[in-house]
Structure 1
Amino acid sequence: MFSLPMALTFCEIKIGKIHQKCTLKWNESLVCSMYHLLPVKWISKINDGGISTQFFMAMMVTIPVLNFGMLMGWQSPMTPILQSPNGPAPEVITDETISWMASITFFPPIFCGVFVGDLADRWGRKITTLLTSLMLVMSWSITLFSLRPWALIASRAVAGLACAGCYVVTPLYLKEIASDNVRGALGSLFILSQNLGYLLVYMAGDMLSFASVMWICTAIPVVHLLAFMTMPETPVFLVKQGKVQEARKALAWLRNTSPDDKTLEEEVQLMEIEEEYSRSVRRATWKSIVQDRTTFKAFRIALNVMLSQETCGYLVVLTYAGSIFEQASESISLKLSPNKQTILVGAIQLLGSIVASCIVEQTGRKWLLASTALVTGMSMLALGLWFYITSLSIWLPGWLPVAAMCLCIFADAAGYQPVPYVITSELFSFQHRGMVTSFVSSVDALSDFVQTKAYDPLLKLLGIHWVFIIFSSVCFFGAFYTIMWVPETKNRSVDEIYALLEDGRQKEKRKDIENDETSRL
């Protein structure tokens, strides 16, 4: 039998164990409840699968795009300064020079876009990105050296080479470093970075001196040029070069795992299989794209969605933003300086781009593109009707065009601008991706150049209301085309996307056969 002290000791031990178990269970429940808190859960989620590393890499890749956005936006706050008799320029910059500065940037990409794509396939995505930053450094340096008309135009021409690099190699880089579950979000960072560049230079132009803005804009590509040398090449390109071990290490860093991970090994093997297939067939040519009906159908889809995006009149809305604010201020208490107006427009652009990055993986590419194209078209139509009705001396409230313009800018940035780049990069294998992206980039540059030079004659010939109405019809056509013929590419491989395109073609064949049989009967 137990003595009283022994019994008490036994009870103490039992009570201690029960207390320890309860404490452990309480701690476990506390950890679980803490995990389900949004910030902790979100941090755990972004670390899983290297999502945080991929976003970091994507931000590094898109810094040249951000700086190019700064270069394009720089003209807005700096034009009044350059045209001022007391400005830093040795002579007053004329409207003709400003017009050429706006349009010449899109002229070099018309011809060199194809060569940039070939360069990215031969020398790699990393070297081409470094060359893009180098072109930006050269462009800003010319402007630092001289502000004479020839220097300003030459600076923009050099920036056109950087434009080709941004619009060709950056979407490829983003696609080839991303996991399937974040491919759309990383792809949409392309336009987000560009719009962030616009907003930053608008704010800098409003708060800082002319010289300070120039030095900040020059420093960004210089720092990127040095920092990006430490970044890895895309695993897809390394496999193409036969550097499988380097590809495995780069992929392990991007996925936040070890090089021996089984899932990682499967991904590398898929890349090797794709590369072996591309080597087994003849070198990719335009003839091979045209002859393969499914690939040619994908090419037509990519070209159409990109052309719809580029010719939707977005540049015209941005150009006419000041006039809309001015006319709206006559009927509502909206008194903003020109710089404050551009900052507001830039903020709306950036907000739309952030929304696109957050929802593109939930909504999918197809319906986000179709819905934002439709909203952009409705906003354009509202602007056109407002200008037409007010031209007939009929009063309409001034908040209508401001609301329509803000909705147009938001919808365009939230889907109509970024999604076509994502779709184009996902529609093609490595074999054709560089060729198609560079060609589409050249066509887009030609479209932008024609729009910027033909805008004033078109405005004088038709009037601003018809210009907006025409652009709205382009948006409506883009929405209709997307719904009818653009496949959903979210979380699908190229083979799965082509199977969808082939199934659509087979359905058309079956309909033709049924119609023939019916006519025979």
Structure 2
Amino acid sequence: MFTGITLQIISALIATLSAFVDGMHFAWTAPIVPVLRRPESPIKITPNDVTLLETIYLSGGVVGLPITIFLVNKIGRKKSILTASAINLIAWIIIGTADQVQYLYLARFLGGLEANVNYVSTPMYLAEIAEEKFRGVLSGSLYVMVTFGMLTIYSVAPFLPFYVPSVVAGVLLVTQLVTFGILPESPYYLMKQGQEEKAKAALLKLRGNLDKLETISSAVRQQQRERGRLRELFSVSNNRRAFTIVLYLTAAQHFSGITPILMNLHTILVDTDSTFFNYNMTAILFVAVMLITSIVTSFFLDKLGRKFLLIISSIVCGSCLLIMAVYFHLKTLGKVDSSAFGWIPLVAVMTYAAGFRSGIGLVPIVLASELFSMNVKALGMSLSDGMYVTFGFICIEIYQSIVHYCGYYVPFYIFTIVAFVTAVFAFFVIPETKGKSLEEIQILLKKRKPTHTNDKYENCDLVIA
């Protein structure tokens, strides 16, 4: 039987299989809408259907908010992940067998609902099973798998029959449903539920020893003294600071451009009028760059730190978005020759893909799983995820409206400003959490010096952070 870091990796891999499929859901409209618009399409759609297929997915996430809060607290992280996986499977079966657009609406709604559950329960599970020195890479694996899913849907949907993505998703989800149940539950959750013997057994499997048992037990007792109500999320200083940081980053992810770009990438590339690239292949390359960057960055999260990567990522993204904004602005004014300068948006988009996944697109989910204290973690992450969906909905609606009335350059200028502001926010507001236990992070957020530490430099860092 596997134990220690090997079991942590296996658990993370199987736990994030549904994240892979969520990535397929999230990016589904970009390659599928052109397919559905073909004369031979199995399902006929209108322009209004296109907008609804994007926004109804996000609406499902909002509806899933109270369900998520209930599940992760009442049945645990592991069973919540399995519940999301089952709903996900139903959604893909509906997509694969649909013959009317109304069935696609239902499937997209269910996909958004389960994604809310999954994007809360999976990061919590990963952060709570991982050792401090591996928490960054294991937590980052969530977005690696999401990006794998995006790459899959971009690579499969334009070229193979409509039902094939559903088959791919179904195989992965059934695999997760069959195998994940035998893996350990979070020892933090078990300790919180008063199941100390089960917590010991889970910790022994995951860590190979019980060295952290008393630390976990003490932390859970301490955090449970503050009741996990909505008021505590805002009245307790460390919770309030955590929520402020996560809330801003969830907004920044959307408004630095990634959601409109991913959901409309093929259309954006076509409207550059560039003759330098094939649009379908460029879209695949875009997500491939994101995937490679996600994998590489996840291994540096615990070396370079969350804060440094977030600052650099924001600056890179802001620069690329500014280039895209200027290109579309000049194109609107008729002052750019796309036959000569059409390579510029290609370079900018690819650099943006790498820049986004090296920080803004990876760090927030890691911080969300680290910053909230145990007693409000489910509530804080669920509310943050609900706001993530809400911001995504607002961003898509604003983007579509502005593009229709003003052109591409205006939203890209807005995305540019948000990206640069995020770099400033990260520098002045966000604490560095690399190498710290979940208990030490709470001390850091309270700006209180810990009583003991294994790192001779740790106290100094906690004081000045």
TM-score, shorter chain, exceeding 0.5: yes
Cα 1:490–1:101 shift into 2, 3 Å: same
Distance 1:72 1:135 in 2: 15
- Offset at residue 296 of structure 1 (A): 1.5
Write out per-residue CA displacement over residues 280-303 of structure 1, whole angstroms, 9 at most, x where no aligned residue. Answer: x25211222322233322221221
Match of 2:148 in 1: 196
What letter matches 2:258 in structure 1?
A: Y
Give the counterpart of 2:112 among 142, 148, 160. Answer: 160
Match of 1:363 in 2: 304
Write out per-residue CA displacement over residues 159-188 of structure 1, whole angstroms, 9 at most, x where no aligned residue. Answer: 111111121111101101110001111111
Distance 1:229 1:319 in 2: 33
Distance 2:307 2:107 in 1: 38
Alignment check: 8 A CA contact 1:176 1:235 kept: yes
Alignment check: 8 A CA contact 2:30 2:264 kept: no
Match of 2:418 in 1: 474
Match of 2:37 in 1: 83
- Secondary structure at the residue paired with 1:487? coil
What letter matches 2:307 in structure 1?
A: K
Structure 2 residue 442 is the aligned partner of structure 1 residue 492: no
What letter matches 1:166 in structure 2?
A: N
Alignment check: 8 A CA contact 1:380 1:408 kept: yes
Taking the TM superposition and a 5 Å limit, the aligned residue runs for 1:308-319 are: 308-319=252-263
Write out per-residue CA displacement over residues 178-199 of structure 1, whole angstroms, 9 at most, x where no aligned residue. Answer: 1000111111111111110011
Match of 1:274 in 2: 219
Match of 1:339 in 2: 280
What percent identity do the matched residue pairs reach?
Answer: 27
Write out per-residue CA displacement over residues 343-370 of structure 1, whole angstroms, 9 at most, x where no aligned residue. Answer: 1122111112112212111110111111
Alignment check: 8 A CA contact 2:123 2:365 kept: yes
Alignment check: 8 A CA contact 1:369 1:415 kept: yes
- Secondary structure at the residue paired with 2:157? helix
- Offset at residue 504 of structure 1 (A): 9.6
Structure 2 residue 119 is the aligned partner of structure 1 residue 136: no
Match of 1:172 in 2: 124
Can you give the 5+ residue segments of structure 1 that lack an aligned partner in the other structure? 1-46, 258-263, 506-521
- Offset at residue 372 of structure 1 (A): 0.3
Distance 1:383 1:504 in 2: 44
Give the counterpart of 1:62 among 8, 16, 19. Answer: 16
What letter matches 1:232 in structure 2?
A: P
Aligned residues, how many? Answer: 445
Match of 2:170 in 1: 218
What letter matches 1:465 in structure 2?
A: Y
Structure 2 residue 325 is the aligned partner of structure 1 residue 384: yes
Match of 1:37 in 2: none
More divergent stretch after superposition (75-84 vs 55-64): 75-84
Can you give the 5+ residue segments of structure 2 that lack an aligned partner in the other structure? 450-465
Give the counterpart of 1:429 among 373, 394, 412. Answer: 373
- Offset at residue 418 of structure 1 (A): 1.3
Write out per-residue CA displacement over residues 254-284 of structure 1, whole angstroms, 9 at most, x where no aligned residue. Answer: 22x3xxxxxx3231111211232344x2521
Say which structure is richer in helix.
1
Cα 1:286–1:340 shift into 2, 3 Å: same
C-alpha RMSD over aligned residues: 2.2
When normalised by structure 1's length, the TM-score is 0.80
Alignment check: 8 A CA contact 1:192 1:353 kept: yes
Alignment check: 8 A CA contact 2:20 2:149 kept: yes
Match of 1:95 in 2: 47
What letter matches 2:221 in structure 1?
A: E
Structure 2 residue 198 is the aligned partner of structure 1 residue 246: yes
Match of 2:181 in 1: 229
Distance 1:366 1:497 in 2: 14
- Offset at residue 465 of structure 1 (A): 1.0
When normalised by structure 2's length, the TM-score is 0.90
Cα 1:292–1:498 shift into 2, 3 Å: same
Write out per-residue CA displacement over residues 82-104 of structure 1, whole angstroms, 9 at most, x where no aligned residue. Answer: 22332323xx2222212211110
Distance 2:362 2:264 in 1: 22
What letter matches 1:252 in structure 2?
A: L
Match of 2:59 in 1: 107
Cα 1:111–1:189 shift into 2, 3 Å: same
Alignment check: 8 A CA contact 1:143 1:155 kept: yes
More divergent stretch after superposition (233-242 vs 316-325): 316-325
Distance 1:357 1:245 in 2: 33
Write out per-residue CA displacement over residues 202-241 of structure 1, whole angstroms, 9 at most, x where no aligned residue. Answer: 2222453333333222232122212212222111111222
Alignment check: 8 A CA contact 1:328 1:399 kept: no
Structure 2 residue 247 is the aligned partner of structure 1 residue 303: yes
Distance 1:278 1:325 in 2: 49
Alignment check: 8 A CA contact 2:130 2:138 kept: yes
Match of 2:336 in 1: 395
Distance 2:268 2:389 in 1: 27
Alignment check: 8 A CA contact 1:118 1:435 kept: no
Distance 2:176 2:438 in 1: 32
Cα 1:428–1:282 shift into 2, 3 Å: closer
- Offset at residue 495 of structure 1 (A): 4.8
Cα 1:61–1:410 shift into 2, 3 Å: same
Match of 1:11 in 2: none
- Secondary structure at the residue paired with 1:232? coil
